[in-house]
Amino acid sequence: MRTTTAPFRILTVCTGNICRSPMAERLLQAGMDSLAPGEFEITSAGTGALVGSGIEPHVAGFVNIFGGDSSGFTSRQLTAEILQGQDLVLALTRGHRSKVVELAPGLLRRTFTLRELARLLPLVDADPDAPAAERWQAAMSRALRLRSAHPAGPEEDDVVDPYRRSDAVYQQMVRELTPAVDELLAWERRYR
């Protein structure tokens, strides 16, 4: 039987906080809300945020097409204060992951790139009766142990930055980001 606990807090991080991290945030939140309403709180920030901006229009379109809601978004700068209390940080590149750990060394064991966790999570089994927060905490420590056994290069861990680039690069971002989000949602769905 599931118990009521505080939501499991996930932060997605990219550079400007107007393309990749808001897309990951909004798609993960929509997916988790459909699976486990109220059990996940997903937000985002940027290492060099265009503070106060909305989601980049191309990306807003993708968010809406893939079932998220792009409205009401405001970009914000990543700070140590924002990192406090996060249960999991999903960086969009290895460089972002390093910045997170630099700002909050205590998050080392709870920070992955989105694609890295998506690659490792299917290899992790969890207690189907555990509340979501406990299940995800246990999964992160197991995924961390798998990281060295299943290494990958930046081409497998990073999501390309499409900002001010061609439509082809936006499409590449979608091809790299959405399957990773889907993999995390599929893992949660296994325990529902």
Q: Which residue has tokens 């290494």? A: 151
Both tokens assigned to 42: 């997903």
Cα distances from 11 to residues 39, 96, 168, in angstroms, run 14, 12, 27
What ranges in 36-166 are assigned the alpha helix state H?
57-65, 80-83, 94-103, 114-120, 132-149, 154-157
C-alpha distance from residue 70 to each of 38, 65, 73, 138 (Å): 19, 10, 7, 31
Q: What span, in angstroms and rounded, lies between the C-alpha atoms of 69 and 26?
A: 6
Q: Taking a C-beta distance cutoff of 8 angstroms, is the pair 177, 169 a contact?
A: no
Return the active site residues: 14, 20, 127
